[in-house]
Structure formats: C-alpha cells, structure tokens
Amino acid sequence: MEGLLDFVLRDILTRSGGVDRCVSEFIRVTNTLLPARTFERIVPELHNGGRTFAGVPVRPQLLGSDPVCLAENAAVLSGLGPFGVDLNFGCPAKVVNRHGGGAALLEDPELLTRIVAAVRRAVPAHMPVSAKMRLGLHDDKRAEECALALEAGGAQELVVHARTKADAYRPPAYWERIADICSVVKIPVIANGEIWTVQDAQRCQELSGCQTLMLGRGMVTDPGLALAIAAGVAPALDASNDDAPHLAWPTLLPLLADFWHLVRTRLDRKKQAGRLKQWLNFLRRRYPQAHIAYLELRTIDDPVLIDHWMAHRAPSEAILRAAA
C-alpha cells in the first residue's frame, strides 16, 4: 500500500500484536540496478535483522515487468538479509499498469512464470520467493491460469486479492474465487481483500478455504484487528456492534503518540502533518475520538503546532471521551 503502510506504520501496527509477517510497500524496478541504500530507505527494518522493532519479519516487495532486471535487483536485495522476496502482480494503479507492471502482468501468464523463475534463480535457495496477485485485469477468467503460472515459476506462497484490477477497491471481494485457486495449486494461499472485522475474517476463511489472511486497510483502520482475528473474538467495546474497534481508544493513544514521534524524526518535514492526518482519516472510520482529532488538525500543517496539540491533548481528552 504505497504511501500508507510504510516502515513507520509497520512499526506501530506490529506493536498491537497478531501480525506474523509484513510485506513492504512495493519497490519499483524499471531498467536500473538499484543500490542497497534504496532498499534500506524503503525497508529500514533491514538494519534491524529484517524485523520491525516489535520483532515481526518484513518481506520486501518488488514491482516490475522485466525478468532480468527484477532478478538482478532481487540478488542485491537478498544480500541485505530480508525474510524472503515478494513480487507484486496486483497493483491496480493506472501509472503502474500503463508501464506493464502490477495487475497488467496478469494478461501474460507465461511472463509471470519467467519473472518468478528468474527471481527464484537469483536468490539463495533457502530464501522464500512469494507473489501477490489479483483475480485478473479486466475479469477473472484467467485467475487459475495465472496462479498456476506463478507456482510453475517457483513461487512458494501466493497472496490473492479477491478482486480484479477493474474492481479496484469496490466491495465486495470475491473470496469464493480464492477457493477455486486453492483447488488447482499446491502452494500455500493467503486470502486478502475487504477484511474489516473479525466477522469478515471468519467469512473469508469459510469461503476461501484459507486460514491465513493478509490485512491492509482494515488493520490501518482498526489496529487491534489482527490480534482479535487471531483470538477469534468479537469487538471488545461492543459485541453487538460489528463496527466497534478492537483496540480501546486509551490504548491506541500511546501508539498515536509514538507514531507522531517517528514521523517527526524519520520523515521529511513537509510530509509530517499529512502523514498524521492520513492515519487519523482512516482511524475515524472506527473511532469517534479520531474523527474529532482529525477535525481539530485538518487545517494545521505546521508540525510544531501539532507537537503542541499532542503535548496538551490531556485536557481535551475529557471532551473526546464525552463525545464518544
């Protein structure tokens, strides 16, 4: 999830528990051999043994369409000690697809096989190579064929986002089509797409046949979601309300403060205010308190003023709790 689930948010979200592994934002590979510092900039966890500070392994993801160039970059990346290499065949962005990357590759299963095979040969045998795909570009008619092509190339694990590129992020996700893919491949399959609640997760597992799930926007919106799914519990705040978050607001507040600290110390000043507001914009789908915080900060772009807001949040917490 480019521009959202970066190393800062990975650090914070993995502190909540329930996450077994992260996949990085995609690293775009065109016709250039990227230096090690590029991989380390996007995946600074490589300086921490390939793990977030909560100890969760991170698998860097490459995006491109040239088998040779991807293989050469994967070789450089493998020398930095990641927990495997992931390949992106699912990005729906127009600019990526226009250049033949992401979901556009699902129109050419033979190329899928060549890409995965080239990367598999380029990295050490003990290092996993995985792939993420959508159901297709314009339709899902070749979903099984594409999955088999990725398996044939040597992918050892497959994440399937249960929508086509044409579906974008519009509900629903077609989890039952993942079951069709599971029936033809022998490698582990992980289900992804439209998982916002424990109930969604359980329904996805039932329809897809996959016990392992990948979370995206649902985890950003509700940082306690992964742990709740792992525990198989209903929403902690209101068991009758499927929209209730699984992590109480007072528990989330320290994570929000830590997030802001990381943003202030690790990101460019011009991006800092926007990153906080971006996460609050997701959080307010579940937390009334986050909605109020977002409204308070919406017009503030000076990080120093946000520092002041953070430092003096305690007096307004009574207001936030009352509003909830």
Domains along the sequence of the chain with CATH: 7-231 (3.20.20.70), 249-323 (1.20.225)
Confirm if 137 and 90 have CB atoms less than 8 A apart.
no
pLDDT in tens, 11-62: 999 999 999 999 999 999 998 999 999 999 999 999 999 999 999 999 999 9
pTM: 0.91
Give CA–CA dist 182/104, Å, rounded: 22
Annotate 85-142 with three-state secondary structure.
EEEEECCCCHHHHHCCCHHHHHHCHHHHHHHHHHHHHHCCCCCCEEEEEECCCCCCCC
How long is the chain? Answer: 324
pLDDT in tens, 139-177: 999 999 999 999 999 999 999 999 999 999 999 999 999
Of 79, 69, 71, the C-alpha closest to 32 is 69
Active site residues: 91
Confirm if 207 and 175 have CB atoms less than 8 A apart.
yes
